[in-house]
Structure 1
C-alpha cells in the first residue's frame, strides 16, 4: 500500500523536473536559436525579401512654418520677429527598395558576413492622409537660398580681400552682392508647399551674381548643387535617390551583429567631427535591429540626415497592435550643448563654443557649407530662447523621436523620427537683414515626422511564427508542471490516508 504514493511522488517529481528543464531551458533555447536562424540576411529568405523591398507603410509628414507677418519682417530688415503658423501634416508615402543588395552567401557556414546595398527612396504625395491640405497651398517661408548665397559670398570675399585692406572693404563687396539680388528678401513670399518640399521654387534671380565675374577678374561663381536647374527646395534632389552605399553585417556569424553597419560609402568611420568617438560609425540604419534587446542597453542608429550616430535609451513598455514593445527615445544628454555635456564638445565646430546650444546640430559641415541647423521639433529639450522667441510650443508627445521594438526579435513595430530644419540668420552688411539682432536668429522652415508602423499582415505573421509557439510552450510547461504538482499532492494524500488506515487497524 505504501508503494503507490512513493511511485506517484516519484512520477510527479520527474514530471515537474522535466517541465522545468524542457519548459524553462530547452524549449526557450530552441525558440532563441530559431529566431537567430530566421534573422539572417540570406538571399531568398523571408527576412531578406521583406528587408530588400519594404512594403510596410512609411510616411514623411511635413509641418511647414508659415510666416504670417512676412511684410513686417521684410520691411524691418529683420528687426521684427517673425510670427509662425504651423501648417501640416503634408503627408508623403515612401517606397523603399534596396538597389542591388549583394552578398557572397549561398551557405550560412561559408558565406560572407556582410551585405552591401543602396536604398532608393521614392516619395508620393498622399492626399487622403493630408486631408484638406494640398501641395498647391501657398506659404511664406524663410529665404534659405538667399542666406546660403550670402554665406557663400562671404567665403569668396574673404579670399579676395588682401591683408591690410581698408576697414569695411569686405562689407562693401557684400553690400554689392546684396544689391545684385535686391529682389530677394529675408522672407520668401507666396511659395507652393510642393516647391518648399521636393519640386523647388525658382531661384533664377541669383543669376545676377554672375555679374561679379566681369567685375572681379579671375572670379568664377559656382552655385551650390542645391541650385541645380535653378530651383531650390528643402528636400529637392532627394526623391528617387539614395543615402549612399551601406555595408552591414548579415547576422550569419552572430545574431548580435544583425544589421550593424560596417562601412558607409566605403569607410568604417565619419570625417565630419572633432574626435574618433564622434566619428564612430556604429549601430544600424534604423530599419532593422538585432534580437534579444535589453532595457539596460541603448540602441544605436546612424542617421544620414544628422551625419552622426545616435543613442536611444529605454523609456517604457507599451503595446503596439497587441504586441508588447520596448520604447526607446533620445536622452536629454544626447543633444546637450558642451556647457552641459562636455562629451558633446566634439560636435561643436565653432570658434565660439557658446554658440553650440542644446538641442541643435550644425550640419553645414556635411551639407557643402549650407547654413542648415537641425534640431528637435519646436526645439524640444533645447535652448529655451529659440522656442520662446518664435512662440513655439514644444510637446514631448508630438515632437519626441520614439522607436518601439519587439525586444525578442528586434522587429520594428512603430517609429516616429522627428527632425526640424532651421536656418541660421545673422546680421550682415546687406540690406535684406541689416537689423537682425546681434545674437542672430535660428529660423525654422519646417519639421518632419518620418512615421513607420508594422502592417496588419506582418503582425499576424509574427503571431503565427513567434507568439503562438511561445504561448504553446508556456501553456504546455505549466500544464505539465500542474500535472506533476497534482501527482505529488495525490501521493501525499494517499500516503496520509494510508497512515490513518494503518493506525485504525492497530487500534
Structure 2
C-alpha cells in the first residue's frame, strides 16, 4: 500500500508541474517567438538579413502596357471621341543593385543609392518591342506647357518652331518609347541654345534609366534600436521633405516597400513611391494565402488618388490655392516631373470620376487586373506578393499661344500603365516556411507538455481511486481472509468438551460479517 501511495502522489506532483509549465509556455511562446523573429530580421552589417537585403529578396518584374491611339486624325475634332487600344504587356525583369551603402549605428539607419537594370522577357510579353504605337508627341506638349508664363515674343517664337518641327501625335516602336528613345528634332534644336542643363537628344519615357544610378539617396531605419523603424524611410535625397508639396503632403513617410516591421496589424500600411514623389496609404482589405503562406492584404482605395475631395488631409497635393486640383481619380504630378503635365491614376481610370473618360473610349477598368495591392506575411513583415499598378497620363489642353495645340480638345490622354510585380525569391520563401513551421512546432511542443501533465494527473487520480478501494475492501473482510488464512467454520463436534459451540459466519447489512450464537469463547 505504501508503494502505491508514493506512486500516485509522485505522478500527481509531476503532472501539476508539467501543466503549470506547459500553460506558461503556451502563454509566453508567441512573445518569445516574436522576439526571436525580431532579432533575425533586424538589419545589421554582416548579418543574414543584410545579405538578403543587398541581394533584393524579391523577384521583380515590370510590365508595361501602352495605349495605341487608333484615330489620331480626330484629335482636333470635338465631335468624335479618341479611341485607344491596349498593347502589351512588354515585360522586363528588374534587378536592383544597392550602392554607396553607409551604416549609421548611432541613429540605427543605413543610407544608400540604387542602380536599376532591366532585361526584356519575351516569354512573359505579349507582342514585340518593334510594335508600332501611336501616341501623343510629348516633347511638343512639354514645351507648350513650360511656355505658359513666357512673354509674348518667346511664345510666338516657340509656336513657329513647333509648327515646323513637331506634330501633335507621333508613331514609334515600343522600344523607342521606353528605354532606347527616339531622335527628337525639338530637343536637338534646344541644345543649340545656352541652358542650365543639357537636353537629351532622344526622348523615351525611361531613356537612360537602364543601368543608371540616379544618385538619389535613401536613408532607411535598420531596427537595431527600435524594431518598429526597420524599413522606415527617414530621408529622401538627404531631406525629410520632398520639396514638391506643402505641409504633411511633402513629408517623407512610410516604407520603401522592401521591408516592414514585424507583427503587422490589420489597419493600414504607408509606403513612399519615388515616381510619385509622395507617400501613399493602403488600407487593410483581408487575409489571403500566397504560396502556402498566410498573409494580410492591403489594397489601394479611391482615397489614394484623391486631392482633398474625399480626404481633406490630401488637399495639400493640389498646390497653392488648389489650382492643380483634379476630380477624384487622378493626381497632378507635374511638379515632380520637370513641369510636364503628368497625371497619375489607376489603370484604365479604375475608381476615377467619369470626367476622365468623357472624351475617350477603350477603357475597361477591372479591379482584378487594375487594383494596387501588397500582401505581407504578418509575423516577420515580409512582402510576399506585390502588384503596384499605376497609369501615366498627360493633361492635354488647347493653347491660345501655340498654334499646334490651338484646336485640340481638353482631355486626360492615357499613355501607358505599368505593373510592378514582386514575389518572394525561393531562398526567402524557404526561410519563411521554416520560420512559420518553427512557430507551429514550438506551440505544439508547449501544448504537448501541457497534455502530458494532464494525462499524469488523470493517471494519478485513477491510481488513487484504485488504492482507496482496495484499502476499503480489506477493512471490511474477515480477519482470516484479510490475512490470507482460511477460517474453519466449525460445528459442535469440533469443539473440545467444556467449551460453548459457535456456528458459521453470516453477512451483515453493513457489508461485513458476524458470528452467530455469540462467537467463540
- Aligned ranges 1:304-383 → 2 under 5 Å: 304-349=274-319, 351=321, 355-383=325-353
Q: Which residue matches 2:15? A: 12
On the 8 A contact 1:403/1:415 being kept in 2, the answer is: yes
- Aligned ranges 1:250-269 → 2 under 5 Å: 250-269=222-241
The CA distance in 1 between the partners of 2:186 and 2:40, in whole Å, is 56
On the 8 A contact 1:400/1:418 being kept in 2, the answer is: yes
The CA distance in 1 between the partners of 2:461 and 2:424, in whole Å, is 52
Q: Which residue matches 1:180? A: 161
Shift of 1:420: 0.7
Whether 1:472 aligns to 2:458 is no
Alpha carbons of structure 1 residues 41 and 446: separation in structure 2 relative to 1, 3 Å = same
Q: Secondary structure at the match of 1:181?
A: helix
Q: Secondary structure at the match of 1:198?
A: coil
On the 8 A contact 2:319/2:325 being kept in 1, the answer is: no
On the 8 A contact 1:68/1:84 being kept in 2, the answer is: yes
Q: Which residue matches 1:95? A: 95
Q: Which residue matches 1:152? A: 146
Shift of 1:350: 5.9
On the 8 A contact 2:324/2:332 being kept in 1, the answer is: no
Shift of 1:433: 3.3
Alpha carbons of structure 1 residues 331 and 320: separation in structure 2 relative to 1, 3 Å = same
**Structure 2: any 5+ residue segments left out of the alignment?**
477-510, 512-521
Shift of 1:468: 2.9
The CA distance in 1 between the partners of 2:74 and 2:99, in whole Å, is 49
On the 8 A contact 1:119/1:242 being kept in 2, the answer is: yes
Higher RCO (C-alpha under 8 Å, 6+ residues apart): 1
Deviation digits for residues 187-238 of structure 1 (CA, Å, limit 9, x no counterpart): 212x01011111112211455679xx9xxxxxx675986x41x211112232
On the 8 A contact 2:187/2:202 being kept in 1, the answer is: no
Alpha carbons of structure 1 residues 195 and 55: separation in structure 2 relative to 1, 3 Å = farther
Shift of 1:55: 6.0
Q: Pick from 435, 440, 446: which aligns with 2:407?
A: 435
The CA distance in 2 between the partners of 1:222 and 1:487, in whole Å, is 87
Q: Secondary structure at the match of 2:338?
A: coil
The CA distance in 1 between the partners of 2:141 and 2:104, in whole Å, is 48
Q: Which residue matches 1:167? A: none
Shift of 1:112: 4.9
Alpha carbons of structure 1 residues 487 and 385: separation in structure 2 relative to 1, 3 Å = same
Q: Which residue matches 2:133? A: 139
Alpha carbons of structure 1 residues 151 and 266: separation in structure 2 relative to 1, 3 Å = same
Alpha carbons of structure 1 residues 388 and 223: separation in structure 2 relative to 1, 3 Å = farther
**How many corresponding residue pairs?**
469
- Aligned ranges 1:99-118 → 2 under 5 Å: 99-105=99-105, 112-118=107-113
Q: Which residue matches 2:490? A: none
Q: Secondary structure at the match of 1:103?
A: strand
Whether 1:384 aligns to 2:354 is yes
Q: Which residue matches 2:455? A: 486
The CA RMSD measured in Å over matched residues stands at 2.5
Whether 1:128 aligns to 2:123 is yes
Alpha carbons of structure 1 residues 272 and 355: separation in structure 2 relative to 1, 3 Å = closer
Q: Which residue matches 1:453? A: 423
Q: Secondary structure at the match of 1:334?
A: helix
The farther-off stretch of 239-248 and 115-124 is 239-248
On the 8 A contact 2:60/2:422 being kept in 1, the answer is: yes
Whether 1:395 aligns to 2:366 is yes
Q: Secondary structure at the match of 1:129?
A: coil
